[in-house]
Amino acid sequence: MQKESVLSSSSPHRRTSHITKRRVAGVALVGVTALLAAAVQSGAASAAPEQTPRAGGVNPGAVAMKLTASQRAELIRDADAAKATTARDLGLGAGESLVARDVMKDADGTVHTRYERTYEGLPVLGGDMVVDTTRSGRTGHAYKATNASLKVAELTPAVAADTAEKQALSAAKAAGSKNTAADRAPRKVIWAATGRPTLAYETVVGGLQDDGTPNELHVITDAATGKKLYEYQGIETGIGNTQYSGQVTLTTTQSGSNYTLNDGARGNHKTYNLNRGTSGTGTLFSQTSDTWGNGTTSNAATAGADAHYGAAETWDFYKNTFGRSGIKNNGVGAYSRVHYGNSYVNAFWDDGCFCMTYGDGSGNADPLTALDVAGHEMSHGVTSNTAGLNYSGESGGLNEATSDIFGTGVEFYANNSTDVGDYLIGEKIDINGDGTPLRYMDKPSKDGASKDSWYSGVGNVDVHYSSGVANHFFYLLSEGSGAKVINGVSYNSPTSDGLPVTGIGRDKALQIWYRALTTKFTSTTNYASARTGTLAAAGELYGTTSAEYTAVQNAWAAVNVGSRPGGGGGGGTSFENTADVSIPDNGAAVTSSITVSGRTGNAPSNLAVAVDIVHTWRGDLQIDLVAPDGSTYRLKSTSSSDSADNVNTTYTVNASSEVANGTWKLKVQDKAAQDTGYINSWKLTFP
Which residues participate in catalysis according to the annotation? 377, 464
Question: In this structure, which long-range contacts are made by residues 596-600, counting pairs with CB atoms below 8 Å and at least 24 apart in sequence?
Answer: 596/628, 596/660, 596/661, 596/662, 596/663, 596/664, 596/684, 596/686, 597/661, 598/573, 598/661, 599/573, 599/660, 599/661, 599/686, 600/660
Closest to 244 (Cα-Cα) out of 371, 347, 413, 404: 371
> How far is it, in rounded angstroms, from Cα 34 to Cα 2?
7
In our burial notation (b when 16+ CB lie closer than 10 A, e otherwise), range 332-370 reads ebbbbbbbbbeebbbbbbbbebbbbbbbbbeebebbbbb
Give the CA distances from residue 103 to residues 76, 98, 142, 403, in Å, rounded to whole numbers and listed in that order: 6, 14, 14, 21
DSSP 106: B
- What are φ and ψ of residue 92, in 5° steps? -75, 155
Beta bridge partners of 491: 484
User: For 323, phi and psi rounded to 5 degrees?
Assistant: 75, 20
Which residue spans within 445-536 are E strands per DSSP? 482-486, 489-493
Largest CA distance in the chain: 89
Q: Determine the Cα–Cα distance for residues 57 and 47; give it in Å rounded to an integer.
A: 20
Distance CA 630, CA 352 (A): 59
Q: Are 103 and 111 in contact (CB under 8 A)?
A: yes
Strands 262-263, 269-273: pairing is antiparallel
Contact 499, 430 (CB under 8 A): no
Q: Are 451 and 477 in contact (CB under 8 A)?
A: no
In sequence order, the β-bridge partners of residue 144 are 129
Q: Please report how the helices 371-384 and 300-322 are oriented relative to each other, as an axis angle in degrees rounded to 10.
A: 50
CA 357 to CA 260: how far, in whole Å?
18
Calpha distance 16→639 (Å, rounded) = 29
Beta bridge partners of 105: 111
Phi, psi of 507 (to 5 degrees): -60, -45
SS3 category, 419: strand
Would you give the DSSP letter of residue 265? T
